[in-house]
Structure 1
Amino acid sequence: MCQYKHIERSIGEYIAARYRRAVEVGIGNNPDAARIVAAAGALALCTDIRPGIRHEGLTVVTDDVFEPDLRLYAGADLIYAVRPGVEMVPPLIALARRIESDLLVYHLGCEIYEDGGEVLDCGPVLLHRYHRRP
């Protein structure tokens, strides 16, 4: 488990250093990256399809990335997801295009979507940028 926390810390630090208004999609029970981004003042909110998810100090709202409420993401310069199911990547790309934000994904294991997008080295982990804001 310690290894996973190091991954989330690296992701959170990378995002916190580069973005001003991020939204994490699919936070589930893993708030570590979001907490780091929030501490830097760069987290707008987190979403998950399951209602009732709460993490102290974080705003978590229920939303379905397959039918997103665009108002939740308005003004975000980044949408990111940590270990989403690969089936979530196409709607995440579509969402990032619609709101003109970057999209970063940290994949589970060796799972990637299509060509893997632009691979970004953030220390001990690789992020995949599937969309870059104009």
Structure 2
Amino acid sequence: MWNDLEEYILKLAIKNSQKTGKKTKIVEIGVGKFQTISKNLSKNDNIDLIMTDIDPDNENITKDDVFNPNMNIYKNADILFSIRPPAELQEAIMKIRDKINATLIIKPLFNEDLNIKTHKMQLKNYNRASFYIYEK
């Protein structure tokens, strides 16, 4: 499942790079301890990746609070994604997306619904991965 989500994001990034002629800027919000997808995406030459968390566990993660975001981190981002963000963070993540007009992907917990009331995100099934997407 994680490989499929990573593959989908990579395909979006490559498509974006081909369209714009520049690297695709991706920001993972609330990376936590599960950094496999971001680490793999960052190996691609067409991607500029930033990982954020309110409590970074290493120097590769930028400290940020989605309720009081540093918008310089997100400026010019093409894709935002978050894996299993708690329900109370989801609306704040959408507000960041709205300010920069990026594609947003949220992968909630297996049995969890989204807590975003301001936008209708589309449920996407890609191979074995299921996630919600709001495209710019």
Q: Offset of 1:25 from its aligned partner? A: 0.6
The residue number in structure 2 matching 1:113 is 114
Query: How many positions carry a matched residue from both structures?
Result: 122
Is the CA contact 1:12–1:32 (under 8 Å) kept in the aligned structure 2?
no
Partner of residue 30 from structure 1, selected from 34, 40, 59: 34
Contact 1:9–1:32 at 8 Å: present in 2 too?
A: no
TM-superposed CA distance for 1:121, in Å, is 1.5
Q: 1:8 offset after TM fit, Å?
A: 2.4
* Amino acid paired to 1:85: P
Deviations 1:17-58 (A, max 9, x none): 11222100111111111012112232421000004x127xxx
What's the TM-score, normalizing by structure 2?
A: 0.82
Distance in 1 (CA, whole Å) between partners of 2:130 and 2:54 is 25
Q: Aligned to 2:54, which of 40, 46, 49? A: 49
Q: Indicate the SS of the match to 1:28.
A: coil
Q: Is the 8 A contact 1:9 1:36 kept in 2?
A: no
- Take 1:98 and 1:90, find their aligned partners in 2: how far apart are those partners? 13
Partner of 2:93: 92
Does residue 132 of structure 1 match 2:127? no
Report Cα offsets for 1:68-91 as digits up to 9, x if no partner: 100001111111001110111101
Deviates more, 1:88-97 or 1:39-48: 39-48
Structure 1 residue ranges without an equivalent (≥5): 1-6
Q: Tell me the CA shift for residue 94 of structure 1.
A: 0.6
2:87 touches 2:115 (CA, 8 Å); kept in 1? no
CA–CA distance in structure 2, aligned partners of residues 81 and 114 of structure 1: 13
Tell me: CA distance 1:50–1:114, structure 2 relative to 1, closer, same or farther (3 Å).
closer
Deviating runs (4+, > 4 A) in structure 1? none
